[in-house]
Structure 1
Amino acid sequence: MQIQESGEMYLETILILSKKINSVRSVDVAEYMGYTKPSVSRAISLLKSGNYVLMDKHGYLSLTEEGRQIAEKIYERHTLLTQFLMQLGVDRQTASTDACRMEHIISDASFEAIKAHALQENKKSTC
């Protein structure tokens, strides 16, 4: 099943929230993303049916292995692209907003090239 950009955003949000709080519920996702509870419930249902998210009997969410892999990939892209844009002189808010758009559409090859370049630049600046 091919996951849509919005699904990637939900997975990334669950990952981010799980790093901050022990137990993530749909209401936490809704609050973090600024979406309504019914919208989040529908999205979580789709992610559950795609085997990306699990929900226990108390309503707590967790990522499946596949869901975690996607979330971590998107989160890495967001983080690195934000930092990269900031190094180019873009302010933090704009860099984060643009990275959020870019993280979903950039090819693996282009991202890996940017990542390699950014890592090379970081090595130069620490030497």
Structure 2
Amino acid sequence: MEVSKREEEYLETMYLLHKNKGVIRVKDIAKMMKVKPPSVVDALKKLSEKGLVEYEKYDRILLTEKGREIAEKTYAKHQLLTKFFVEILGIPPEVAEQDACQFEHYVHEITVKRMKEFAEFVQSQCPYVIKQFVKGKLEERGE
């Protein structure tokens, strides 16, 4: 089944809402994604047709097992990318967060796996070098 990048974003948003608030509501999805509620409803209908969410108008919204799997995978990529950008590349956290949000939908699983392996290797073998690199980037930004 083909899931678009935008649908991944919706699933990830719903996953985070459920994780943090215990409930998924149209208005909260709209607020987090900076879209209008009718756009959320349209997306929910499509995701429901694909079997990724359980949604009935004016009823609760739930991720199905498959929807949750996709959301968890997307969120795990997001976290890894953010951490890599901040800890290895010295990118400011707010920029790293934005970039990870975009990058997570386009990067292949193999690339994410290799980035993780590289980060672990560098951090275990050359922690001083990484600290010096990141420190230099922070100083360049005046932090």
Moved more, 2-11 or 104-113: 104-113
CA distance in 2, matches of 1:122, 1:12: 29
2:35 is paired with a residue of what secondary structure? coil
Cα offset, 1:59, TM superposition = 2.1
Please say which structure displays the higher CA radius of gyration.
Answer: 2
Structure 1 equivalent of residue 118 of structure 2: 117
Moved more, 19-28 or 73-82: 19-28
Q: Which TM-score applies when normalising by structure 1?
A: 0.90
Tell me the alpha carbon deviations over residues 80-99 of structure 1, each in whole angstroms, 9 at most, x when there is no partner: 10111011110011111111
Q: Which TM-score applies when normalising by structure 2?
A: 0.81
Larger RCO, structures 1/2 (Cα 8 Å, 6+ apart): 1
Structure 2 equivalent of residue 99 of structure 1: 100
The number of equivalent residue pairs is 125
* Structure 1 runs of 4+ with >6 Å offset: none
Moved more, 111-120 or 37-46: 111-120
Residue 18 (str. 1) matches residue 30 (str. 2): no
Tell me the alpha carbon deviations over residues 12-54 of structure 1, each in whole angstroms, 9 at most, x when there is no partner: 0001111111221112111111110000000011000000011
Overall identity of the aligned pairs, in % = 35
Cα offset, 1:119, TM superposition = 3.1
Tell me the alpha carbon deviations over residues 48-90 of structure 1, each in whole angstroms, 9 at most, x when there is no partner: 0000011267522111111111101110011110111011110
Going from structure 1 to structure 2, the CA distance change for 1:122 and 1:17 (only over 3 Å counts) comes to farther
Going from structure 1 to structure 2, the CA distance change for 1:123 and 1:59 (only over 3 Å counts) comes to farther
Where structure 2 has 5 or more consecutive residues not aligned to the other structure, the ranges are: 128-143
Q: Is the 8 A contact 1:25 1:59 kept in 2?
A: no
For residues 1-127 of structure 1, the aligned pairs below 5 Å read 1-55=1-55, 58-87=58-87, 88-123=89-124, 125=127
What is the root-mean-square deviation of aligned Cα atoms in Å? 1.6
1:54 is paired with a residue of what secondary structure? strand
